[in-house]
Homo-oligomer: A and B are copies of this chain.
């Protein structure tokens, strides 16, 4: 068998010349799973569609890839459009490509996920009125295959939390140990023993304890912590094993 007779590879041979070029071109979308945290629960940012198809239903935010950008840039642009923010941590997740996933037309979507602190970006940041934070556990059903995207994102976030530190993007600059534990419990969807959690976090050595207390949560007040950026990023690179 000669390679030039093969359809899948043959196309490339005729590059720039034949009908395949036009015929098989498709639209590329990117959809963003935006996770947030408010100190208590893991949240997800959704948008109510005010256009067809599926008008009135909830969906991830998304947009199409333009000729002049790569996917990372497209995802960042879409995120900026909605939240007004640059420099958000984003990671490519998965490509969804089923033929009829979008009933309107053949579209392939690359999902990205982002992590942000809800409080810092609630009113100033979110510029689209139809966008709303939902508790992850109480989120409505989404259009197309967006629920599947979210499911994959949750799994990825969970795995990430078990191998790299999480929180820099999801927590305010100063936070209590309890908030950090709430974050981990939300992501892993399980209760963690308080002492074991603190021991583990301390052994990671990525936090600086401040001489400041958060007095809103209790009468005694709870010490606030900060991530030590250098130590944190070192752990992001080398990773660890968070068995908890």
Contacts and interface: CB of A to CB of B under 8 A. Distances in A.
Interface of A: 1-4, 6-9, 11-13, 15-16, 20-21, 23-28, 47, 50-53, 61-72, 74, 77-78, 81, 92, 94-95, 97-99, 104-106, 108, 110, 127-128, 130, 241, 243
A63 B26 contact: no
Given A69-B99, A99-B70, A63 B8 contact: yes
Given A27-B24, A50-B4, A12 B64 contact: yes
A156 B241 CA distance: 17
B97 A71 contact: yes
A169 B105 CA distance: 37
Contact of A25 (B6, B9, B27, B71): B27
B27 A64 contact: no
A106 B67 contact: yes
Contacts of A67: 23-24, 26, 99, 106
Given A9-B61, A77-B8, A128 B24 contact: no
B3 A130 contact: yes
A64 B8 contact: yes
Q: Which of A11, A25, A47, A66: most chain B Cβ within 10 A?
A: A25
18 contacts: A1-B128, A3-B130, A6-B81, A6-B128, A7-B63, A8-B62, A9-B81, A12-B64, A13-B52, A16-B105, A24-B27, A24-B28, A24-B67, A67-B99, A68-B99, A71-B97, A71-B108, A241-B243
Contacts of A51: 4, 12-13, 15
A15 B53 contact: yes
Contacts of A95: 71, 92, 95, 110
Contacts of A94: 92
Given A8-B74, A12-B64, A70-B99, 20 more contacts: A3-B130, A4-B50, A8-B63, A8-B64, A9-B81, A12-B62, A13-B52, A15-B51, A16-B104, A16-B105, A24-B65, A24-B67, A26-B28, A26-B65, A26-B67, A65-B108, A67-B106, A70-B97, A70-B98, A92-B94
A81 B7 contact: yes
Q: Which of A3, A11, A20, A99: most chain B Cβ within 10 A?
A: A3
A97 B99 CA distance: 21
A239 B44 CA distance: 28
